[in-house]
Amino acid sequence: MKDGYNRSINYLRLSVTDRCNFRCRYCLPSKGVEWLKHSDILSYEELLRLIIVFNCEGITRVRLTGGEPLVRKGIVDFVAAISKLKVLDDLSLTTNGSLLAPMAEGLKAAGLSRVNISLDTANPSRFTQITSCGRLDDTLRGIESALAAGLTPVKLNVVLTEEFSNTDLAYFIDQVYNFPVNVRFIEYMPVGGQGGNGPSIAEIKDMLNAAGLGQLEPAAVDIGNGPAKNYRLPESKGAFGFITPVTDHFCVNCNRLRLTADGKLIPCLLSDRAVDVKTPLRAGASDEELAELFRQAVREKPERHCLCRTSGHSDFGHSMSQIGG
């Protein structure tokens, strides 16, 4: 389905929970947020129905998000239920990796294609500082388990905060040379959290080119026209991706909507616009009425996000955990 700017909308980021076992500073505001009541969160049965309806409107790719999606009970069975629909070309999941190790094989067997794992630093103490409560070893085991289970390509999402160091860069270079991972450096977005003093994407590129391992070369490794611009270093098994939502935004190619855990369709990550799907869904709306709500969200998708403005600051009041990142 095309939006008003001739973009094909075929990708849904579907949040299954607003809850997370981490409290990352750039994701949650310092004062915290009020968690949703369980009754406010869409059931798996409701989500399956919406996937079917939205697929008829052009959605062929779904990424499960949170919060942290692996904290929701029954997530493996939900992945299996989505797979049994046989309507999607790609089913993936974004996670902090801390709960992934014992679940990776089950998720793969259930039909999950691949995972994105958040890993902002390889230093245990800084990792705990960023996440407030996380243990680096848990996430590293999650990464190893994802590779072993074949949830590939494994993408490591690195938000560039002030905690990022040269030691971290050396670690990620080592990972890219030895494993088929895609390390994606993500420009920090000022969205309700803290941590905007990290290195720039340009600085990271310069550091990689100056590492004595050759020059970065463009690489076609992404799936589904994602926002990362990908590069390889000579003879590396993996690749680096660079995501610049602020300084070099990719709104012209944005192909996604977001569905929050409480049933709101979000046309743009950085906007307060939302279309309520839960209320009519629970009031007995027909498939056609739900499809029209999807079409409404597509019509309301803006040309570009608010951080493209000269102010450089967002004008909306949600945290990343509330809208699925």
Mean per-residue pLDDT of the chain? 90
Give the C-alpha separation, 136 to 172, whole Å: 14
Residues of the chain with pLDDT under 50: 308-315
DSSP state of 8: B
Note the pLDDT of residue 310: 42
Are 263 and 274 spatial neighbours (Cβ–Cβ below 8 Å)?
no
pLDDT, tens digit, 9 for 90 and up, residues 96-139:
999 999 999 999 999 999 999 999 999 999 999 999 999 999 99
Q: What CATH class does 11-323 carry?
A: alpha beta
Q: What's the whole-model pTM score?
A: 0.92
Segments making up each domain of the chain, as ranges: 11-323
- Distance separating the N- and C-terminal Cα atoms of the chain: 23
Q: In the beta sheet, which residues pair with residue 241?
A: 184, 230
